[in-house]
Amino acid sequence: MFSTLKPLPTDPILGLMAAYKQDTNPNKIDLGVGVYKDEQGNTPVLKAVKKAEAFRLENETTKSYIGLAGNLDFCQKMESLLLGEHRALLANRVRTAQTPGGTGALRVAAEFIKRCNTNATVWVTTPTWANHISLFEAAGLTVKEYPYYDYENKGLLFDEMIKTLKQVPKGDVVLLHACCHNPSGMDLNEAQWKVVAELAKDVGFTPLVDIAYQGFGSSLDEDAKGLRLLADTVEEMLICSSCSKNFGLYRERIGACSLISNDSTTADVSNSVLLSVVRSIYSMPPAHGADIVNTILSSSELTQLWHDELDEMRSRINGLRTLIKSSLAEKGVAQDFSFIDQQNGMFSFLGINKEQIDRLQKEYAIYIVGSSRVNVAGVSQTNIDYFSNAIADVLK
């Protein structure tokens, strides 16, 4: 059986990770992998997480399964984090399942969509996170794209986006990035979210909101504003969330898949299908990550500590955006990079070509994805001059 298999290409980002690890250049910079890094280039364990883990170590009493939906206290707290005190929660219209990371949430959502409508097409932004397309296609769904990022002007193609979404058939699903768009960093503003929400209601497509970076843009509440506007407007929607970034729990694989139905009875029926999907994929989620998040959000002291640490990470990223823009200008780079500090989250397209990207890697050991997407958090006060000089050189 195995002899019929053909080798598949390595994921470009994973390949970039391997090449970076093997590089012996002491000045090497990794701007490819999408994880938060501190000034020393580490992905730290948050103090709030350390305290929550210590509490769990002392108080855990069983290693039994935690059920198909996972930690129900965690699910409730994630709903509140995402929706605040939204009327959908007050009306008991929301159901949530804990998942293995945001990727697990998206795969659960994909299978759920397939059971709702076997002919549904999922519409994603151009560009989008590369794994989005693979996840939906793996569930047997058709994937189409709608205009989003303006590569030439480093902004949004909002008019083109709306024109396309007006043509989406009723019953299809439209994936929207809640904040910190991956990979462009360009987000919808509040007025644009309102237009999209009204369009979803009028056209009849179902919004699927991917919120992997809540708190990395403006604030926890501001970053969920678009999601909440949608929930104000449509009767049904899906939400896939992740705790990898804002809690720094990348390797614990903790996320959630939430659905909002038009009434509590439909929510119960939908939840039974959602949990059936969970059962068929991984049966029960792991406990550790959800317990950490639940412990933090159950304690006012730990919640405040987490807020402080999240604010620090967000401030560092926003400061780096300004630093990159000003440093490149100081090096005499003629190309306009002012768009960088107008974006949100960890990612941005530099807008340089493949030859220049290759030179950065070969001559300077600066690792960037082939699309020119960079992880801003990989820059630091200690390497900014080296980075800026390298960019200035390859742009000559």
CA distances from 181 to 195, 381, 386 (A): 18, 25, 27
Q: What is the pLDDT of residue 12?
A: 79
**pLDDT confidence band for 33 (50 / 70 / 90):** confident
Place of tokens 């397309």: 133
pTM of the full predicted structure? Answer: 0.96
Q: Tokens 């390497």 identify what position?
A: 383
The maximal CA–CA distance of the chain, rounded, in angstroms, is: 63
> Exposure of 96 by Cβ count < 10 A (0-12 exposed, 13-18 middle, 19+ buried)?
buried
pLDDT tens per residue across span 89-122: 999 999 999 999 999 999 999 999 999 999 999 9
The overall average pLDDT reported for the chain is: 97
Which pLDDT tens digit goes with each residue over 157-180? Answer: 999 999 999 999 999 999 999 999
Query: What residues are labeled active site?
Result: 129, 210, 245
pLDDT tens-place string over residues 322-374 = 999 999 999 999 999 999 999 999 999 999 999 999 999 999 999 999 999 99
Residue 15 pLDDT exceeds 90? no
Average pLDDT over residues 271-275: 98
- Alpha carbon distance, N-terminus to C-terminus of the chain: 53
Cα within 13 Å of Cα(231), Cβ side? 27
What domains sit in the chain, N to C, each tagged with a CATH number?
10-45+306-394 (3.90.1150.10), 65-298 (3.40.640.10)
Neighbours of 92 (CB within 10 A): 13
Kindly state the tokens that stand for 137.
């296609």
User: Secondary structure of the chain: what % helix, strand, coil (to 5)?
Assistant: 50, 15, 35
Is 2's pLDDT higher than 90? yes
Residue with tokens 């909440």: 228
Instruction: Determine contact, residues 379/29, Cβ cutoff 8 Å.
Output: yes
The predicted structure's pLDDT at residue 208: 98
Q: What's the rounded mean pLDDT across residues 44-59?
A: 97
Assess whether pLDDT exceeds 90 at residue 13. Answer: no
Residue 259: what pLDDT? 98
Residue 40 has pLDDT above 90, yes or no: yes
Dist. CA 350–CA 321, nearest whole Å = 12
Q: 3-state secondary structure string, 25-73?
A: CCCCEECCCCCCCCCCCCCCCCHHHHHHHHHHHHHCCCCCCCCCCCCHH
In the structure encoding, which two tokens stand for residue 294, read together?
A: 């639940």
Average pLDDT over residues 219-226: 98
Q: What is the pLDDT of residues 62-92, one digit of tens each?
A: 999 999 999 999 999 999 999 999 999 999 9
